Amino acid sequence: MKILGIRGSPRRGGNSDVLLEWFLSSGFSDAEILTPSQLHIQFCRGCRYCEAMGKCVIQDDMAVVVEKLLAADRVVVSTPVFFYGLPAPFKALVDRAQVLWARRYLFKENMKPKKGFLLAVGATRGERLFEGVVLTIKYFFDAFRCSYEGGLFFRGFDALASIRECHTCQEETRASGRFFLRGEDA
């Protein structure tokens, strides 16, 4: 089973990195990790070339990302909330997934089914804190036939890796990881 993790934050060793580390720690150490902020992914130009041709007009690291998204059986996204949405480097990757949406829905490509899970963290505590992130990730997943299986959401963490002090967060995240990655067919 191919497991792909995506680190949404541009801050290394921060709260969302810790969450992903816990989630993937259930013995499935062969997970591959993508870090959008360390890749060369240009912004989507909205040119619609992909909708006409089934491929992107821009040549950069997104070509490899597309192959990894399509090959995965499980995709785990871990991200902080930035202004009620995704950090810009990760949002750039999501926008560039429009080529996958075009391949799936316009070119009727028969993609392998996958399962996706979301981990998200923010500093404040509002009830609607994660609504923007959840919607964006649900539709990102859908572009490459990845079903949204659920998420874990953590409020009130801001300082670097401060979530490490939350033992219930760790237990909950590890348990969810074990369940999600338990190895049955996609």
Ligand X SMILES: Cc1cc2nc3c(=O)[nH]c(=O)nc-3n(C[C@H](O)[C@H](O)[C@H](O)COP(=O)(O)O)c2cc1C
Cα 157 to Cα 123: distance, rounded to the nearest angstrom = 5
Supply the minimum distance, in Å, between the C-beta of residue 81 and ligand X. Answer: 4
Q: Which residue's Cβ has the minimum distance to ligand X?
A: 14
In the bound state with ligand X, the residue whose beta carbon lies nearer, of 63 and 135, is 135
Look at phi and psi of residue 61 and say left if phi exceeds 0, alpha if psi is from -120 to 50, else beta: alpha
Supply the minimum distance, in Å, between the C-beta of residue 120 and ligand X. Answer: 9
Q: If binding is defined by CB under 6 A, does position 128 make contact with ligand X?
A: no
How far apart are the two ends of the chain, measured CA to CA in Å? 9
Q: If binding is defined by CB under 6 A, does position 157 make contact with ligand X?
A: yes
# residues contacting ligand X (CB under 6 A): 18
Cα 118 to Cα 109: distance, rounded to the nearest angstrom = 25
Among 4, 6, 9, 115, binds ligand X (CB under 6 A): 9
Q: If binding is defined by CB under 6 A, does position 88 make contact with ligand X?
A: no
Q: If binding is defined by CB under 6 A, does position 80 make contact with ligand X?
A: yes
Contact criterion met (CB below 8 Å) for 50 and 98: yes
Interface positions, 13-42, toward ligand X (CB under 6 A): 14-17
In the bound state with ligand X, the residue whose beta carbon lies nearer, of 14 and 36, is 14
Supply the minimum distance, in Å, between the C-beta of residue 173 and ligand X. Answer: 13
Segments in the chain forming alpha helices (H) = 15-23, 49-53, 62-71, 88-96, 98-101, 131-143, 167-180
Among 1, 2, 11, 25, binds ligand X (CB under 6 A): 11
* Residues belonging to the chain: 186
Structure tokens given for 148: 């949204």
- List, in order, residues 6 or more apart from 95 with CB less than 8 Å away: 43, 44
Supply the minimum distance, in Å, between the C-beta of residue 64 and ligand X. Answer: 23
Q: If binding is defined by CB under 6 A, does position 99 make contact with ligand X?
A: no
Binding residues for ligand X (CB under 6 A): 9, 11, 14-17, 80-84, 121-124, 129, 157-158
